[in-house]
Structure 1
Amino acid sequence: MNKSSFSKSCGFTLIEVIIVVAIVGILAAIAYPSYMESVRKSNRSEAKAEMNDVAQRLQRCFTAFSSYDDASCTAASDISNGNTLATENNYYSISGVLTATTYTLTAMPQSGSVQAGDNDCASFTLTQAGVKGATGSSSDDCW
């Protein structure tokens, strides 16, 4: 074999591979947090939908029994006295404080779920008057 056949390289040099890996790492470091925030934002709808469902069930109880906390109301027993109702994908747990004429529903993220790291909208509240609230660093934009 002659010397000219060895001087032609058909692969990548180590420095080229390191540069590509560094670029991919930088892009991933920027994109992953943004992706996770998008996932958390879309998962918030699960808490809101479940809270609205529970609120409608409580309104039906009030219509039927003239009380939100009537013993015959299954929606009331599902969320009061320390009981919680988990959302479909277990991202949130719904609890409530009920009296005969008022209620306040609270949705808290389940520990260990992706929503547990949601600092923008940490929890949600909903009352019988339709007053919506949230806690977190962006609580004004949660609902």
Structure 2
Amino acid sequence: MRSMRAVQERGFTLIELMIVVAIVAIIAAIAYPSYLDQVKSTRRGDAEGALMSFSNAMERYYTQNGTYLGADGAAPPAAFSATLTAPAASVFPDEAPIDGNPKSYNLRIYNLQANSYVLRAIPKGPQAGDGYLELSSTGARGWDSDNSGGALSASEKSWDQ
């Protein structure tokens, strides 16, 4: 008759499994916030690209019409608009990313005048609280990274941060 000790069982002890689970949890706790930051940064980069494309569309509109007025779809075009307005559907889409979902930025025209404009990408949904991006007709760009909501000065934040 065989002794119970002679039969060796194979497997992991509960302590070994708990150690592995703890190590995986520590790695996940470190990696997950970095992943979320990277996703936000990628969405912001996509919005920057959308603003550049939007600016190109505004320049095409100006070339065809001799003015930026009316790019917001207002009829008849107002002489000046200091409010945030969505672009006319024929000019450019009003959300970013342009291709794909979920939409994380609203694209708006701000301070629209006959010979100048300011474009803004306003975060929404999963990107909310990240601060808006801004691009003017002069090429000046900024990011409200502290989410203060104030006007951006030329010396303030840049997209390159």
Q: Same fold (TM over 0.5)?
A: yes
Any idea what the Cα deviations from partners look like across 1:14-34, whole Å, max 9, x if unmatched? 111111101100000001111
Asked if the contact 2:132/2:145 (under 8 Å) is kept, the reply is: yes
1:36-55 matches, cutoff 5 A:
36-55=36-55
Aligned mate of 2:73, from 47, 62, 77: 77
Q: In the alignment, does 2:101 pair up with 1:100? A: no
Q: Which residue of 2 aligns with 1:3?
A: 4
Contact preservation (8 Å) 2:141, 2:159: no
Aligned residues: 132
Q: 1:110 aligns with which of 124, 133, 139?
A: 124
Counterpart CA distance in 2 for 1:142 and 1:26 is 33
Identity %: 30
Structure 1 unmatched ranges of 5 or more: none
Counterpart in the other structure of 1:33: 33
For each residue in 1:61-119, what CA deviation from the matched residue of structure 2 results, as whole angstroms up to 9, or x when unmatched?
Answer: 2222221113xx4xx329x86436011231211011211122111101222x2x236x4
Look up the SS of the partner of 2:142 in the other structure: strand
Alignment partner of 1:12: what SS?
coil
Does residue 1:135 correspond to 2:144, yes or no? Answer: yes
- Give the root-mean-square deviation of aligned CA atoms: 2.5
Q: Which moved more, 1:123-132 or 1:48-57?
A: 48-57
4+ long deviations beyond 3 Å? 137-141
- Compare the two structures and name the one with the higher helix fraction: 1
Does residue 60 of structure 2 align to residue 60 of structure 1?
yes
Counterpart code for 1:23: I
Label 1:141 to 1:37 Cα distance change in 2 as closer, same or farther (>3 A).
farther
Conserved? CA contact 2:143–2:159, under 8 Å = yes
| Worse overlay, 61-70 or 131-140 | 131-140
Name the structure where strand makes up a greater proportion of residues: 1
Separation of aligned partners in 2, 1:116 and 1:30: 23
Secondary structure class of the residue paired with 2:121 = strand
Aligned partners of 2:109 and 2:119 also within 8 Å: yes
Gaps in structure 2 of 5+ consecutive residues:
75-82, 88-93, 148-155
